[in-house]
Structure 1
Amino acid sequence: MHVLGKIAVAGLALVVLGGTAYGYANLQALDEVTRDSVIDADGGTRPGEQPADGSLDILLVGRDSRADQQGKPLPPDVLRELRVGPNGDDLTDTLIVLRIPNGTKEVKAFSIPRDSYVSMPGGGKDKINAAFGRGKAAEARRLRNAGETDKAKIEQGALTAGRRATRQAVEDLTGVKIDHFAEVNLLSFYEISKAVGGVDVCLKEATKDKNSGADFPAGEQRIAGADALAFVRQRDGLPGTDLARVRRQQVFLAGLARQVLSAGTLADPGKLSDLIDAVKRSVVLDASWNLLDFVAQMRGVSGGGIQFATIPVGNVDYRYSKSDPRLTAVQVDPAAVKAFAASLIGTPPPVPSGRPGAPVTVDVANAGPKEGLAARVAGVLKDKGFTPGTTGNTAARRTSVVRFGPGLAERGAEVAQLLGGLATQESAAVPAGHVEVVLGTVYSGPGATGGGGAPGGDETITSSGVVCVY
């Protein structure tokens, strides 16, 4: 059973708690938190240092593990309370990057769908959530072949390698230099959500799912513990499946930020103590992270200062295996993802090399149900230097395509890449000097939300208020 709900709430708790005097005093109690050498020795930030890429970047990872951070299996009664079985796997089912621009107190958080099909550290391509398991298994083999027999040393070395491989896969995809790392598992999510007294969320419709244990009415409600885990684990019955589940994760994280900074938490020594204890018991941080220096940097972050988005994606039903066409993944274009990540801190996206100077007009047609989609995508392409053409609706189709006439293959491919890696097709029916974009029902790339946000043009998620989701 996949467990996407193991959101890295602990990392976000550190961010928002660190912005307060309460946080500064209490984080001194975190000396016992588990550390690991995830960041290269020369890659960590020093006290007061402003990262060269313009932003302090923190990778929050949720790992599918039925063990505590010391590697001990969780007791059967705890597994029953969590509503999960005894078998997990070495997948990182939640990946969120927090971007904190130099000199500002705004936090931009973006999610990477776990099934994003990317290049792997060490070669080949796979879903990004497989990077951890591949790195861990390779290091375990290397240590055993080198003659190591101590199981504890092999396990720890393999875990470090898995974490490093995950960090590298994220850096390669996004172009973001990861400065710090936080990892949680099932137990930490459960305990932290209870420690803060629950989190307010809102559902557009009532929902019930036996696989995750979800059973919620429509409307606003407060959830904690096993219910919170079920809320962010549910996949079946949701529109967009994994992308809808990403939205669930984001609204929960936004609610956590509000709750941690609320008077009810900050003025309650018991809740603060429970939160710190939960972090100490179940979180792994990189060895280079100076928490007190981080707290000083984060003074002034407000509950409304965190905004959530999702990287631009292409085909969410991408058939990546010729040998087994039943296998699917989420198609992503690294160039579009890098441009999106850079835009969050105001850095202009890289200009494609070898771009011809002749102007090209792009016509955009919407073949799906999302209102205003063609106009939003046309605006994205205008910002990239293309001349806007016609926009409107067309006959329904599932997948998207970029069509172009003779001599415009390179520009058509550029448009396709900017929109998340869409399929391309040469067509004599396209007018000279034009490129035609047809957006299918599964399109969720740039422009789906006015940017690389959540699919479907849904309301932007911030930590300043409760947003209803499916």
Structure 2
Amino acid sequence: MHKLGKVLVAALAVAVFGGTAYGYTTLESLEGVTREDVIEAPDPGEQPADGSLDILLVGRDARTDNQDRPLPPEILRELRAGANGDDLTDTLIVLRIPNGQQAVKAFSIPRDSWVAQPGTKDKSKINEIFGRTKFASANEQRAAGKTDKAEINKQAITAARKATLKAVEELSGVKIDHFAEVNLLSFYEISKAVGGVEVCLNKATKDRDSGADFPAGRQTIQGADALAFVRQRKNLPRSDLDRVRRQQVFLAGLAQKVLSGGTLANPARVSDLIDAVKRSVVLDGSWDLLDFVRQMRGVSGGGIAFETIPVVNPDYRYDPRHPTWTAVQVDPVQVRAFAASLIGAQPATPQAPAGPKVDVVNASGKDGLAARVSDLLAEKGYGKGDTKAEAGRRTSVVRYSDASGPAAEIAKLLGGLDVQKADSVAAGQVEVVLGQVYKGPGVSAGGGAPAQGEQPITPDSAGCID
């Protein structure tokens, strides 16, 4: 059963952003939060090179606290979670804060996004990279003669955190400045500490796996009910993508609840919030929270907007040997352009073309497809050729004249298209013809458009959802 999604990040987000609005002195006790050397410490006073302070918030599917101690059975029963959790990172949200501004742009990466594993040619779902790296690191340490189980586990988790961060950087093109990780318990406690959050559902819903059982309309939820709300994916029209939407709505409502003043004006609730963070949050070792809060003073709940990265295909069949296995196909070129657009930046300028010139023919009937694919290939180092449309055809093909190697590489890049030799293609060039069933990179518009055509979620705009 899939576990908690995006709202696990609420513990850190609420504490930090709440402090900016009501005085950073209440956050001094947060210096007791667990630290991990995941990111190299920057030079003092250094401004982020990309024009934005970027924070990776990770929600880990773990039945442990931040010291890797198992949660008591009574707590697991209250959470409606089984005793065994996977080493998965089911929540990945990047906060982008432009230099000198109090606007916060947040984007979610779906847990099943199909990405390259850092340092290898292999691919996997992004939420599996943590567990794969942890397992490999532990084996390497044992092979090197280490026997201390606690130390092996500690180093393996550090390696897993670093690999997850690297995967996010490679997909998004964003250089991560700070890292925060939370777990199941933190969300449960945070949602209770603020007295619950109001949500609104278009219709009643029920799901035995997550424990969700909610009527239609507006309602305030907390604790185990809030956990069930953000975990539910069954009986939702788009499964995990709708779950991401739910989690963003809940997190926006949580920010609004805290930053409106009712929570942080209550000393007892502030104390509960900070205690929950200290029990469950892990931060990178270089993050000076008090300095960060001074910089961010003035942020309000309405200044936080949540979006999701562009998705090419939410039902991507990535392994022909297992046709029922699915992932979320994403295009790094689109994702990088999207992430850059959130702070008004431009993605890195591609180097001079190293590959042949590629003409792209749009025979799919989808507006703008040829231009998007041409831009994608240019980002990969191929020369830009002509783009045009022609009468519809069902299938796609990559044609070449005298060199099949580049054509085969392009065909693989675009999702495994057929390759044909054709005398009609000019010497030294390649032609890509995109048919009606094409579902590869470029099929959806990237840039700054919200995924699936959705509008950004903000505390002021969240309405009823499925």
TM over 0.5: yes
Q: Is the 8 A contact 2:212 2:225 kept in 1?
A: yes
* 2:119 paired residue number: 122
Aligned residue type for 2:131: G
Residue 49, structure 1, aligned to residue 46, structure 2 = yes
TM-score between the two structures when normalised by the length of structure 2 = 0.83
The structure 2 residue matched to 1:466, chosen from 456, 462, 466, is 462
* 1:257 paired residue number: 255
1:273-319 Cα shifts (integer Å, max 9, x gaps) = 11111111111111111001110111111211111111112122222
* 1:370 paired residue number: none
* 1:371 paired residue number: none
Question: How many angstroms apart in 2 are the aligned matches of 1:90 and 1:454?
Answer: 27
Question: How many angstroms apart in 2 are the aligned matches of 1:70 and 1:437?
Answer: 53
* 2:79 paired residue number: 82
Question: How many angstroms apart in 2 are the aligned matches of 1:134 and 1:336?
Answer: 26
Question: How many angstroms apart in 1 are the aligned matches of 2:274 and 2:169?
Answer: 29
- Mean Cα deviation higher: 169-178 or 434-443: 434-443
Q: 1:299 to 1:49 in 2, by over 3 A?
A: farther
Q: Is the 8 A contact 2:361 2:370 kept in 1?
A: no
* 1:30 paired residue number: 30
Alignment of 1:101-116 (within 5 A): 101-116=98-113
CA RMSD of aligned residues (A): 3.7
Q: 1:319 to 1:51 in 2, by over 3 A?
A: same
Q: 1:184 to 1:358 in 2, by over 3 A?
A: closer
* 2:68 paired residue number: 71
Residue 2, structure 1, aligned to residue 2, structure 2 = yes
Question: How many angstroms apart in 1 are the aligned matches of 2:193 and 2:386?
Answer: 53
Alignment of 1:216-227 (within 5 A): 216-227=214-225
Question: How many angstroms apart in 1 are the aligned matches of 2:361 and 2:438?
Answer: 20
Question: How many angstroms apart in 2 are the aligned matches of 1:52 and 1:172?
Answer: 16
Query: What is the CA distance between 1:342 and its match in structure 2?
Result: 1.4
Residue 151, structure 1, aligned to residue 152, structure 2 = no
Aligned residue type for 1:461: I
Q: 1:379 to 1:462 in 2, by over 3 A?
A: farther
* 1:281 paired residue number: 279
Residue 20, structure 1, aligned to residue 18, structure 2 = no
Q: Is the 8 A contact 2:342 2:448 kept in 1?
A: no
Q: Is the 8 A contact 1:445 1:452 kept in 2?
A: no
Q: 1:337 to 1:70 in 2, by over 3 A?
A: same
Q: Is the 8 A contact 1:461 1:467 kept in 2?
A: no
Q: 1:259 to 1:170 in 2, by over 3 A?
A: same
The structure 1 residue matched to 2:139, chosen from 135, 141, 144, is 141
Question: How many angstroms apart in 2 are the aligned matches of 1:266 and 1:202?
Answer: 24
Aligned residue type for 1:118: V
Residue 95, structure 1, aligned to residue 92, structure 2 = yes
Residue 303, structure 1, aligned to residue 304, structure 2 = no
1:88 partner SS: coil
Question: How many angstroms apart in 2 are the aligned matches of 1:105 and 1:116?
Answer: 30
Q: Is the 8 A contact 2:134 2:160 kept in 1?
A: yes
Q: Is the 8 A contact 1:380 1:451 kept in 2?
A: no
Question: How many angstroms apart in 1 are the aligned matches of 2:46 and 2:147?
Answer: 41
Alignment of 1:209-220 (within 5 A): 209-220=207-218
1:63-94 Cα shifts (integer Å, max 9, x gaps) = 11111112221111111110111110101011
Query: What is the CA distance between 1:445 and its match in structure 2?
Result: 6.5
Aligned residue type for 2:181: E
Query: What is the CA distance between 1:382 and its match in structure 2?
Result: 12
Aligned residue type for 2:460: S
Question: How many angstroms apart in 2 are the aligned matches of 1:224 and 1:15?
Answer: 20
Aligned residue type for 2:328: V
* 1:238 paired residue number: 236
Q: Is the 8 A contact 1:173 1:337 kept in 2?
A: yes
Aligned residue type for 1:116: S
**Unaligned stretches of 5+ in structure 1?**
367-373
Q: 1:271 to 1:437 in 2, by over 3 A?
A: farther
Question: How many angstroms apart in 2 are the aligned matches of 1:387 and 1:205?
Answer: 49
Alignment of 1:191-230 (within 5 A): 191-230=189-228
Q: Is the 8 A contact 1:363 1:388 kept in 2?
A: no
Aligned residue type for 2:459: S
Aligned residue type for 2:260: S
Q: 1:378 to 1:15 in 2, by over 3 A?
A: farther
Q: Is the 8 A contact 2:131 2:160 kept in 1?
A: yes
1:25-46 Cα shifts (integer Å, max 9, x gaps) = 1110112111111113xxx345
Percent sequence identity is: 58
Q: Is the 8 A contact 1:362 1:387 kept in 2?
A: no
1:323-343 Cα shifts (integer Å, max 9, x gaps) = 322221111122221121112
* 1:325 paired residue number: 323
Question: How many angstroms apart in 2 are the aligned matches of 1:279 and 1:209?
Answer: 29
Q: Is the 8 A contact 2:206 2:213 kept in 1?
A: yes
Question: How many angstroms apart in 2 are the aligned matches of 1:405 and 1:138?
Answer: 41
Question: How many angstroms apart in 1 are the aligned matches of 2:372 and 2:14?
Answer: 34
Aligned residue type for 2:17: V
**Unaligned stretches of 5+ in structure 2?**
377-383, 423-430
Q: Is the 8 A contact 1:402 1:422 kept in 2?
A: no
- Mean Cα deviation higher: 84-93 or 357-366: 357-366
Question: How many angstroms apart in 2 are the aligned matches of 1:424 and 1:467?
Answer: 42
Aligned residue type for 1:108: K
Question: How many angstroms apart in 2 are the aligned matches of 1:302 and 1:193?
Answer: 19
Q: 1:260 to 1:438 in 2, by over 3 A?
A: farther
Q: Is the 8 A contact 1:200 1:466 kept in 2?
A: no
* 2:380 paired residue number: none
